[in-house]
Each structure stands twice: as structure tokens, then as C-alpha cells.
Amino acid sequence: MSQTTITINGNQYDLKVTFKFLAAFGIVKNDFENNIEKMGNIVMGIVGGDPYSLVKALSAMSGKDEATVQADIENADDLDQVFEAVENLLVASPLTKTTVSKIIKPIKDTFDNMDKKMEEAMTDKSLTASSNTPA
């Protein structure tokens, strides 16, 4: 079993991917199609930086209640390493690595494309705004 320990807002979290973690996200026996979709939602939330996905994942991975996790998250100075630790654990855990390895690249590519389009839109908008400015 893969596991890792992180500290958020001074509190230690021992994280591991277990069947209890999977059940917290509605991943159940004999429902492959829905399980893939649900795993995709977990990965998308973590890769995309969704704080609600992070709270749920940390609670399910650590056994701490969501209110405690949410309080730590709200008071944390930086969450980048926390998102990264959860993502890395999903990639490495024997219970999730096969599925995650198949879905993580398309999910990351989607977010990268969104970032590029937003940058292009901002660049286009600033060019339009500067060209409309009277001399």
C-alpha cells in the first residue's frame, strides 16, 4: 500500500488510498463504467485545483472528518504541495494507478489547453484595448 504524510496548517495527515477512500467517492464493486467516470472526477478535481475535491480526498485518505480538513485548508498558506501529494499518491497507489495512468494525461492536456486559450484571449483583449485607445 502506498502512503505519504503531509502537514497542513501545522497538522499532520497520514494519507493512504484504501477501499474506504474509493467508497467515499462512490467507487463500488462491479460498476466499471461509473467507477471510471468517478475516478476521472477525482483526478480532474485534484489536477484542476478544486478545494472541495481536495477536502473530500484528504478526509477519505486520512480518516479525518471533512470539517477539520476544511478548516486546515482554509487556513493554509499554500496548497500546491498538498494537491501534488494527493495526485502523486493516486498515481502510485496499487488500487488506483492503473486507472489513473490512463486518464491523467488527457485531463492534464485539457487543463493545459484551457490555460493556453485563456492566455490567448487575454493577449487578444489587451491588444484590442490598446489599439482602441485614442492617441
- For 48-84, what is each residue's pLDDT tens digit? 999 999 999 999 999 999 999 999 999 999 999 999 9
Residue 62 sits at the vertex; the CA angle it makes with 90 and 43, to the nearest 5 degrees, is 25
What are the tens digits of pLDDT across the range 10-46? 999 999 999 999 999 999 999 999 999 999 999 999 9
Could you tell me the three cell numbers for 87? 495526485
User: pLDDT band at residue 113, thresholds of 50, 70 and 90?
Assistant: confident
Task: For residue 77, give the DSSP letter.
Answer: S
Least Cα distance to 6 among 57, 67, 41 occurs for 57
pLDDT at 1: 67
Which residues, including other chains, have CB under 8 Å from residue 112's CB and lie 6 or more apart?
none
DSSP count for the chain of H helices, then E strands: 6, 2
Residue 52 has a pLDDT of 96
Of the candidates 20, 79, 88, which has an alpha carbon nearest to the alpha carbon of residue 54? 79
